[in-house]
Amino acid sequence: MANLKSTFLVYNNLRISIEVMILKNNSTGIIEKELYGYTTEKIPVYQYTLLNKNGLMIKILNYGGIITNFWVPDNSGIFHDIVLGFDSLEEYEKFNSNYFFGAIIGRYANRIANGRFTIDGISYQLALNDGNFPNSLHGGIKGFHTRVFKSIPLSTPIGPSLILKYLSHDGEEGYPGNLDVSIKYTLNNENELIVEFFAITDKPTIVNLTQHSYFNLSGDGDIYNHRLQINSDYITPVNNFLVPTGEIKQTEGTIYDFRAPKILGELLTKNYEYDINYVLNKSKNDLTFAAKLESLDTGISMEIFTTKPGLQLYTGNYLNGLIGKFGKIYNKHFGICLEPQFFPDSPNQEKFPNVILYPKEIYNHKIIYRLV
């Protein structure tokens, strides 16, 4: 059972009156399925809409596990779509290997230097797909962001869920082992988006999975009027190819210090830009507060929690006149990525956390995006 509540959404800078479905307190929420399109290989792709009892709504594709829309109300009850993306499957197929809007990233998120790593004395070579840099990036040319997942919608006591499953075969993109992956999205009635990752392998391999949404809590424009806090005292500095040097350095007194909240415009407008991994203040596997992002325009605020030790901060440095959803133009700094994960290039860095998954082990990772 549900009732309708009059509210507004912002669509292409227009304020439009809509009726938002608000569900009764005991509702498990709603999940709906629609055909989104066909890949160039003629595989059908579906979009799932998850709605919780408070009217928050998220749309997810089984192509790449992509979050296409995330509608959230501001302090005045006006709904804003807080993630960047495209309007069509054709655009995601054509352009998203350059941007990774909203996608699940795997097998290995972030960069691996020279696309090479060694496990138990055996060396493996991955594709180099990081532009002019000699790195493997975000799982390769046909990483998980390009794959069609098997999808299982669920109604749960806490809200609607979507399970996505994919078997990555031995040798896919150069990675060893058959990796069986499951991702569970849940939009609960506490206004949290929970993303849970699980994986098992039949051969030693490396695994580092994350979610790669670009957030803009103002719903439009740049992120200069966003305030950011990161629960970290250290970063992993990078070389000219954006690969960690192996050092771990303190952020205190530097432009990387977000222990206390800072307004992004005060830094980004000074030609500071960010594409760097933070070492989170946390115990090994505990779910821990990682970051808080807030729009001073809308008052929408989001807290991020993770079980992994790192958080990649990326400030949309390579957006440059790209046409996105609703015909909006995405320019530099129009979105921010906060990617919980293992550290970049960990397979080649002895001092970084271990990322090798062996048979009979279970990889798991949990991220919570809490709208507060």
List the one residue out of 97, 64, 365, 66 whose CA is nearest residue 208.
Answer: 365
Residue identified by tokens 């030609």 is 271
Q: How far apart are CA 343 and CA 109, in angstroms?
A: 9
Q: Side chain identity at 359, as an amino acid letter?
A: P
Give the C-alpha separation, 276 to 262, whole Å: 17
Q: How far apart are CA 112 and CA 117, in angstroms?
A: 8
Cis status, amide bond into 147, omega within 30 of 0: no
Tokens for 98, please give them: 């350059």
Which position among 80, 212, 333, 365 bears the catalytic label?
212
Query: Active site includes 339?
Result: yes
User: DSSP character for 215?
Assistant: B
Q: Cβ-count burial of 241 within 10 angstroms (0-12 exposed, 13-18 middle, 19+ buried)? A: middle
Check if the beta carbon of residue 216 is closer than 8 Å to that of residue 82.
yes
Give dist(CA 35, CA 164) in Å, integer: 16
In sequence order, the β-bridge partners of residue 193 are 187, 369
User: Pick the catalytic residue: 93, 173, 192, 339?
Assistant: 339
Annotated active-site positions, please?
A: 212, 339
